Structure 1
Amino acid sequence: MDTTRTRINRHRFKAMGAIACSVTLLAACTSGSEPETESSASSGDPSSVSTQPTVSENVEADADIVADRDEPEKTRVQYPTEGEGDPNQNWGDLYLPAGQHKEDSIPLVVLIHGGSWASQLGAEVMNTYAEDLVDRGMAVYNIEYRRVDSGGGWPTTFSDVASALDYVVDLNEKHPEFTIDDELVVGHSAGAQLAMWAGTRHSLSQDEVGNDPKFRPKRVVSLAGPLDMIYAAQHGDDRIVKVLGGTPEEIPDRYESVDPIQNIDPSIPVVAIHGTNDTMVSPENSMRYIDAVEEADGIGDLVMADGDDHVSLVSGDSRHYQKILDIITDASGKTIDELDDLYSN
């Protein structure tokens, strides 16, 4: 198989097996290696997804245990910001799974909430995802940031998200059980734009907001994201104009710096999930973005959730919710077999 290019699969939520296979393939392609086969899984290759330690393996090596919790743990942490911050908004909730864990044995998922980059909605929107993902054995970092009408907007919203992400390195010093070398960031709506931007900050120049990241997510899942910001702004999305402080014609440099479709990194696996009934952020955003990924010979997947709208896509009541959790779980580097081992212990 040609590892320099992976065909982009367009599908709807139907057979879970097909979805799991597709996202696992993305995980295998992250390092540019051949997708895992039965023989490579047992070869001892450290880049192979199946070699990631499970809880049962951790228990056998008591001397290497760095964390032991009877229940999942949630801690609110404050991250430092550029200039004077706001302790009521510059924070993140860190969720750590129950069990005994060795160093670098737990995958980390960073969650970035949406809400039109505005103050009406906060990180609580992603709490259900955080709680269910930590129950699946992952570490989860659900971040809050300053938004429009609460001290945010350009450039503060973006520098806050960058600061929150960079603080992962400090958190890892306190909690060495979770990994930070090949991690996943998941965002909804405006948070999906921020998530895609977070994955490409390493390409920013020194005069751009968020440059020189200390922590770099290398996989991204977008939930209903405005991934083509110029297209969205030119089709009536004044929320983008408000957060960036102008139209694409007025401030093209800002759009160029943070617009996901203008900053595609072909080496970063991405999954764009969008509800077919979304009238707030048109599914065309995800379609156009994945088309651009394909043109760049990138690694991507477009998933259309039949019947979901913009809000229901992040609701635990969505009929697709468990399948989205499976996509996030697989994209984090865990296989279905590893999850079975985790649950059985």
Structure 2
Amino acid sequence: MLIVAAGVAVGVRQATRPADRATTAPTSTSEDSATRGTSVHRYAYLPTGVGDPRQDYGDLYLPAGEHAEDSVPLVVLVHGGGWTARYGAGLFDPIARALAAQGVAAYNIEYRRIGSGGGWPTTFSDVAAAVDYVPTLDRLNPEIDTADSTLVGHSAGAQLAVWAGTRNAATPPEFGDPRSRWRPTRIISLAGPLNLERAADTGDTRVTRILGGTPAQVPDRYRAVDPIENIDPTMPITAVHGTADRVVSPSQSMSFVAAVQRARGEARLVLLRGQSHSALVSPRSSVFLQIIRMITASTRPSA
């Protein structure tokens, strides 16, 4: 069947997680001439009857044409928007389509947010489940290559992406079975709040809303999901920030990268002079193509 989301026709594949032991139903596929036949398929990443199917899904954008097994690199996208329901996955549709036009598969995930059933801990458990669905996505689409993949997030989505990609044994089990947590090859943070305690202490009420309190009130929650508290020195991370960002301070990326480097990890800071918070993901901005090239260059397509 076809549904229309944000004006885009999307082919829906009612896929299930392996534990559901159900057969994936064949569905139709849409094409967008602007991106040379990009196809979009929707997957529910939570088991049937769990969560909100209107939000707990991921759209997989595939490049046009036929592709050999493991020949299409994968990028997983986590949109931002202050963890609030006001902003959804449609924010990343232009990036997903631009990546597909470059021969890259883009898995653009949606999740419950403040105002639409999200908040603590639902927003985090949704994102964890969405990224842990990648192996199933690979099984259902053998053309994509998950052995070398990139996890990308913007703003609040960057916090979610960096946290989800660096979960470890200390991460509470409600945020993904430790035995089946998916691990990307690398992570790119675009204007991310990566030091949540500092953000909250300097007056960022978006952070205290999503975590349900200040660092003094709910310290365990900060320790569980704050990227700077969960550094994985083995995970390569690039933190990109505009120097004119007035929504999330560039110091968030700077302090995180410095902390990773002190832990002898691999982290790179990219500061874009004069660029605002939204410029990094706006198709109308002067750096949009630079961001697309950066993401695409991070992938290594199979020969």
Aligning the two structures, in what range does the TM-score lie when normalised by the shorter sequence? 0.7 to 0.9
Task: Give structure 2 stretches of 5+ with no counterpart.
Answer: 1-30
Match of 2:251 among 284, 298, 306: 284
Q: Tell me how far 1:220 sits from its aligned partner.
A: 0.4
1: CA distance, partners of 2:191 / 2:300 = 22
Say whether the 8 Å CA contact 2:155–2:192 is kept in structure 1: yes
Q: Deviations over 1:218-238 (max 9, x none)?
A: 210001000000011101111
Q: What does residue 169 of structure 1 align with?
A: 135
Q: What does residue 60 of structure 2 align with?
A: 94
Partner secondary structure for residue 280 of structure 2: helix
Q: Tell me how far 1:182 sits from its aligned partner.
A: 2.9
Q: Deviations over 1:47-93 (max 9, x none)?
A: xxxxxxxxxxxxxxxxxxxxxx9822111222215973111111111
Q: Tell me how far 1:293 sits from its aligned partner.
A: 1.2
Match of 2:272 among 305, 311, 315: 305
Q: CA distance change for structure 1 residues 255 and 81 in 2, over 3 Å: closer, same or farther?
A: farther
Say whether the 8 Å CA contact 1:229–1:240 is kept in structure 2: yes
Q: Tell me how far 1:321 sits from its aligned partner.
A: 1.2
Q: What does residue 71 of structure 1 align with?
A: 37
Q: Deviations over 1:242-274 (max 9, x none)?
A: 101111111111111111111111111111011
Match of 2:116 among 134, 150, 172: 150
- The aligned amino acid for 1:271 is T
Match of 2:102 among 118, 131, 136: 136
Greater relative contact order, per chain length (Cα 8 Å cut-off, separation 6+): 1
Residues 1-345 of structure 1 mapped to structure 2, 5 A cutoff: 71-80=37-46, 84-207=50-173, 209-212=175-178, 213-334=180-301
Q: CA distance change for structure 1 residues 171 and 208 in 2, over 3 Å: closer, same or farther?
A: closer
2: CA distance, partners of 1:82 / 1:204 = 28
Task: Give structure 1 stretches of 5+ with no counterpart.
Answer: 1-68, 339-345
Bigger helix fraction: 1
Q: CA distance change for structure 1 residues 93 and 208 in 2, over 3 Å: closer, same or farther?
A: closer
Partner secondary structure for residue 163 of structure 1: helix
**Identity percentage over the alignment?**
51
Say whether the 8 Å CA contact 1:198–1:217 is kept in structure 2: no
Partner secondary structure for residue 100 of structure 1: coil
- The aligned amino acid for 2:185 is K
Partner secondary structure for residue 201 of structure 1: coil
286-295 vs 319-328, which deviates more?
Answer: 319-328
**What is the TM-score with the length of structure 2 in the denominator?**
0.84
**What is the TM-score with the length of structure 1 in the denominator?**
0.74
Q: CA RMSD in A?
A: 1.9
309-318 vs 200-209, which deviates more?
Answer: 200-209
Larger Rg: 1
Partner secondary structure for residue 179 of structure 1: strand
Say whether the 8 Å CA contact 1:81–1:90 is kept in structure 2: no
Aligned residues: 268
1: CA distance, partners of 2:220 / 2:228 = 14
Q: CA distance change for structure 1 residues 281 and 83 in 2, over 3 Å: closer, same or farther?
A: farther
Say whether the 8 Å CA contact 2:58–2:109 is kept in structure 1: yes
Partner secondary structure for residue 312 of structure 1: helix
- The aligned amino acid for 1:147 is R
Partner secondary structure for residue 183 of structure 1: strand
